[in-house]
Amino acid sequence: MARQPKEYVRLPGRGQKVVGVLSAGRTSLWLGNDHLLHVSDQWFTETYKRFYFRDIQAIMLRKTRAGKIINLVCGLVALLVFLFPLAGKLYWAWDAAGMIVGGCFGGFFLLIVVVNSLMGPTSSCKLKTAVQSEELPSLARLWRARKVLRILRARIDAEQGVLSQEEIASNREAILAAGALGAGNPLKAAGPPELMRHCDDRFHAAMLYILLFDGVLTIINIFIQNKLIDAISACVLLGGITCMTTALFKQQRSDLPSGLKNLTWATLAYTVAFMIVAIGYGVILALENPGKIGTQLSPFDHPVIMAMDLVSAICDFSIGGCGVYLLQKFRRESAAPDAQP
C-alpha cells in the first residue's frame, strides 16, 4: 500500500516565543499545500496559525544585534570568570582545583560565544497579511531566515504571481491617487500613519553632564583621596544610573537619533562592566588591605587603580563629550523646522 504523503513539510529553524522576559513556548514553521503553518508548542498544547500564500502581503527581515549583545555579555562574564581564579592564584595562592573550576565556568561562557558566533548574525522576521503582522521567532538567524524566505517566496510567487519593482513603482501613483490604502481597505482607513513620539531629552542631557562631571571627579580622585569626594562620587553614580534608566525608557520608539540611543546603551554597558570590575578588584583589595577602604588607597601606589581611574575618565569624557555634541545637534535640528515660515 502506498504511503500517504505528509501534509506538512518542516521548514528549518526553531525558536522561542517570548512574552515579556518569559518563554511562551517553542515555535516552528511548516509548509502546507496552500499555507504556511506557524506552530507554537507550550507544554502539552500546540497552537496553530495559518498564513495562506494568497493572503501574505509582505515579509520583513531585519538584522538584529542580539547575537552581538550575547557575545559581549558572555565574553565579559568569561573574562571575569577566567580572571577570578587567576587573581586567586596570585593573591591567595589557590591550588590547581580552583583554577580548573574557574576555567570550566569560563570555558562554558566562552563556548556560548563560539557557538553563537558560528551560528551567524541574528535576525527578526515579520510576516504581514491584511489583518495581522506576525513575528516568526524560528527565523532568528539570518542565513536560516534567507533560506526559508527563498522557499516561501517561490510558493507565494506561484500562488500570487511576481510583483516586480516596475510594478511597485507604477502602482504607487495609482494607490496614492486612490487615497493610499484607505479607499479600499477599511482596516487602513483610520488615518495617517502613527508618527514617532518626540523624545523628552532632559534625562539624556542630565546623564551626559553627570558623565562629564564624573570624569572630572575621577581625575581629582587620582590626586586627592577624600571622603567628601567619595560621597559626591557615590551620589553622582546613583544620579547617573537613575537618569540613564529613565533615558533608556524614554528613548523607545522616539525620534531621538540612533547615535544618541546607541550611546545611552553604550553608557549602560560601560557602567555595568566598570562596576563589575571595580567591585571585583575592590574585594581583592579589601582582602589584601584589611581595614582600609579601596578608595583611600593612592592610585600612584596601585597601578591597577590608576589604570581603572584613567580608563574611567577617558570613557566618561569620550561618551559624555560625543553625547553632548549629538544632543546639541539633535536639538538644533528639532528647532530648525519651527524657525522656518
Partner 1 sequence: MTATLFSLDCPKCGDPISPTACNTGEMTPCGRCGTRYQALVFPAILRTFEMPAAGAGVIQAEESSCYYHSAKKAVTVCESCGVFLCALCDVSLNNQHLCPKCIEKGKAKGRMKHLENQRILYDDMALRLALYPVLLVITVYFTFMTAPAALFIAIRYWNAPGSIIGRSKFRMVLAILFATLQILGWIMLCVWFATH
Binding site for partner 1 (CB under 8 A): 6-8, 10, 30, 37, 39, 41, 43-50, 54-63, 124, 126, 128-130, 149, 153, 156-157, 160-165, 168-169, 171-172, 175-176, 180-181, 183-188, 192-194, 196, 253, 258
CB of 172 to partner 1, least distance (A): 6
Kindly give, in sequence order, each residue whose CB lies less than 8 Å from that of residue 183, ignoring residues fewer than 6 positions away: 189
* Strands annotated E in the chain: 9-19, 22-31, 35-42, 45-52, 58-63, 123-128, 133-135
Cα of first residue to Cα of last residue in the chain, in angstroms, is 81
C-alpha–C-alpha distance, residues 295 and 222, integer Å: 10
Is residue 185 a contact partner of residue 315, using CB atoms and an 8 Å limit?
A: no
Residue with smaller CB distance to partner 1, 5 or 303: 5
CB of 185 to partner 1, least distance (A): 5
Residue with smaller CB distance to partner 1, 172 or 292: 172
C-alpha–C-alpha distance, residues 36 and 310, integer Å: 56
- Going by the DSSP 8-state scheme, the letter that residue 197 receives in this structure is B
Residue with smaller CB distance to partner 1, 8 or 274: 8
Rg of the chain (C-alpha set): 27
CB of 59 to partner 1, least distance (A): 4
Residue with smaller CB distance to partner 1, 181 or 212: 181
Query: Can you state the angle between helices 202-223 and 303-339, rounded to 10 degrees?
Result: 150
Residue with smaller CB distance to partner 1, 61 or 229: 61
Residue with smaller CB distance to partner 1, 63 or 292: 63
CB atoms under 10 Å from CB of 249, counted, come to: 8
CB of 154 to partner 1, least distance (A): 12
Give φ, ψ of 230 to 5 degrees: -60, -45
Tell me the three cell numbers of residue 133: 503582522
Is residue 75 a contact partner of residue 117, using CB atoms and an 8 Å limit?
A: no
Residue with smaller CB distance to partner 1, 180 or 308: 180
